């Protein structure tokens, strides 16, 4: 199913008058502060976030999964769902595939379909954290770090295949996340595991096409609870450096121990030109994979300050690959993603309002109070009319959740796909 221009236009009708009032009011205030509203709108328009194929169905926990009706069961339907979100939000212009679940039957058809929704293929994701029916070797005790050479070779070959699949679709990067680690002290030799991982990553790296990047994701614990081979940004950073200039660190907001200063990690990586990818979600305790901005919106804003500063000052750092990496256990996944995109754009817009010049002066003068005032003035501005204006002018919905519900999208999907349709993959 897809939405057409007329449907979105009609859903906007009752909101246009109030929106115009709110936008003009905010716009005047921002212009009076010396901000370039058109430039901010342009930046919001070009900011596109990839949706991973595993986020379109109901998530779950180790205790159970409660499926959501009308889930996409095939790759084509997953692309259609991202198309729906993009049509309303104008912010989800990319899809990130997970192999082996999303191997296209027909590459041209899949490429054409994505193109018709105005979507590109972002980073492809490999999977060596569970065994497939056809697998010869088992990843029970690790993949790229495994003591057994045959297991490492199978995992390397899988990653190379993922690169080949992505290359045929026009992707330009691969994300490697490893579940490798140990549950108990003594189970693994830390140095051997790290060395195996580095050598395996180097082999995958050697298979990258010229214009590709490799993103190395880190995570402190889970599914292993004593140690993880790539436990933190420092380990990812040193592995990326060992591989070469096309390898980068990927920051996933949920992959840190509680209260880690993520904005400082972002600043450090960008200053060294090594922040390649970024995964959005939110958490209270661990890798909770909750809706972005639902728990710690101020932290998200501070992280965006570091990102905006880095994008403006660290020209040697590539433009990062943005993706939502969350699990939707209770909400309609599409509504949850719409909320996430709104929260991301909100934090980004607020960071764009920050008076960098005034902040620099206040920092030089050690005006601690002044620094806080400047930062919080940006944070306390209600930027929602800016986001609505960006969407409205791009042909999207002034109020995406409202439009999604008014247009009865979920009901239509259930009608089309049935109540028992279940999304494949993780
Ligand atoms: Mn992730």
**What separation in Å is there between the alpha carbon of 230 and the centre of ligand 1?**
13
**What separation in Å is there between the alpha carbon of 279 and the centre of ligand 1?**
5
Q: Across residues 129-152, what is the average pLDDT?
A: 96
Return the ∠ at Cα 176 (arms to 211 and 212), rounded to 5°.
0
**What separation in Å is there between the alpha carbon of 250 and the centre of ligand 1?**
8
**What separation in Å is there between the alpha carbon of 246 and the centre of ligand 1?**
19
**What separation in Å is there between the alpha carbon of 38 and the centre of ligand 1?**
33
Chain segment 400-420, per-residue pLDDT in tens: 999 999 999 999 999 999 988
**What separation in Å is there between the alpha carbon of 287 and the centre of ligand 1?**
9
Interacting residues of 71 by C-beta distance below 8 A, sequence separation 6+: 56, 57, 58, 333, 417, 421, 422, 423
Chain segment 244-302, per-residue pLDDT in tens: 999 999 999 999 999 999 999 999 999 999 999 999 999 999 999 999 999 999 999 99
Please name every residue paired with 64 in a beta bridge, in sequence order, or none if there are none.
61
**What separation in Å is there between the alpha carbon of 194 and the centre of ligand 1?**
20
**What separation in Å is there between the alpha carbon of 25 and the centre of ligand 1?**
38
**What separation in Å is there between the alpha carbon of 365 and the centre of ligand 1?**
39
CA distance 400 to 391: 9
Q: CA torsion 292→295→298→302, rounded to 10°?
A: -50
**What separation in Å is there between the alpha carbon of 50 and the centre of ligand 1?**
12
| Contact between residue 250 and residue 276 where contact means Cβ atoms under 8 Å apart | yes
Please name every residue paired with 323 in a beta bridge, in sequence order, or none if there are none.
50, 279
Which residue in this structure is represented by tokens 């330009």?
172
Q: Across residues 307-332, what is the average pLDDT?
A: 97
Helix-helix angle 333-353:384-393, to 10 degrees? 110
What's the mean per-residue pLDDT of the chain? 97
Question: Is the pLDDT higher at 258 or at 423?
Answer: 258
Interacting residues of 144 by C-beta distance below 8 A, sequence separation 6+: 128, 152, 155, 156, 176, 178, 180, 196, 197, 200, 201, 229
**Res. 423 pLDDT band, cuts 50 70 90:** confident
**What separation in Å is there between the alpha carbon of 80 and the centre of ligand 1?**
22
**What separation in Å is there between the alpha carbon of 191 and the centre of ligand 1?**
25
């Amino acid at each position: 199913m897809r939405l057409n221009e007329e449907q979105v236009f009609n859903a906007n009708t009752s909101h246009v008058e109030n929106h115009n009032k709110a936008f003009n009011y905010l716009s005047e205030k921002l212009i009076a502060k010396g901000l370039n509203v058109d430039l901010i709108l342009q930046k919001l328009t070009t900011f596109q976030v990839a949706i991973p194929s595993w986020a379109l169905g109901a998530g779950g926990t180790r205790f159970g999964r409660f499926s959501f009706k009308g889930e996409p069961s095939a790759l084509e339907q997953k692309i259609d769902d991202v198309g729906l979100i993009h049509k309303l939000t104008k912010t989800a212009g990319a899809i990130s595939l997970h192999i082996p679940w999303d191997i296209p039957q027909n590459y041209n058809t899949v490429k054409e379909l994505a193109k018709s929704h105005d979507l590109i293929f972002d980073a492809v994701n490999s999977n060596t954290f569970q065994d497939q029916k056809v697998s010869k070797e088992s990843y029970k005790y690790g993949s790229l770090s495994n003591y057994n050479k045959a297991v490492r070779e199978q995992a390397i070959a899988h990653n190379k295949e993922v690169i080949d699949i992505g290359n045929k679709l026009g992707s330009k990067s691969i994300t490697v996340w490893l579940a490798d680690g140990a549950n108990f002290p003594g189970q693994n030799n830390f140095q051997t595991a790290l060395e195996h991982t580095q050598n395996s990553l180097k082999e995958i790296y050697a298979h990258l096409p010229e214009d590709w990047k490799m993103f190395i994701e880190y995570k402190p614990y889970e599914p292993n609870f004593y140690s993880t081979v790539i436990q933190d940004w420092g380990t990812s950073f040193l592995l990326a450096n060992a591989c070469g200039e096309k390898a980068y660190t990927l920051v996933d907001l949920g992959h840190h121990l509680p209260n880690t200063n993520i904005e400082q990690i972002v600043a450090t990586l960008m200053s060294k030109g090594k922040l390649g990818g970024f995964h959005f979600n939110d958490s209270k305790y661990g890798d909770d994979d909750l809706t972005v901005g639902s728990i710690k919106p101020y932290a998200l804003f501070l992280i965006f300050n570091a990102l905006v500063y880095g994008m403006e000052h660290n020209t040697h750092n590539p433009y990062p690959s943005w993706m939502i990496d969350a699990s939707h256990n209770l909400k309609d996944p599409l509504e949850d993603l719409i909320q996430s995109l709104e929260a991301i754009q909100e934090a980004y817009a607020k960071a764009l309002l920050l008076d960098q010049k005034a902040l620099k002066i206040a920092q030089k003068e050690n005006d601690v109070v002044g620094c806080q005032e400047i930062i919080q003035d940006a944070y306390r501005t209600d930027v929602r009319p800016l986001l609505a204006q960006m969407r409205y002018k791009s042909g999207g919905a002034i109020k995406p959740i409202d439009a999604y519900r008014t247009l009865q999208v979920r009901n239509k999907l259930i009608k089309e796909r049935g109540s028992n349709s279940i999304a494949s993959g993780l």
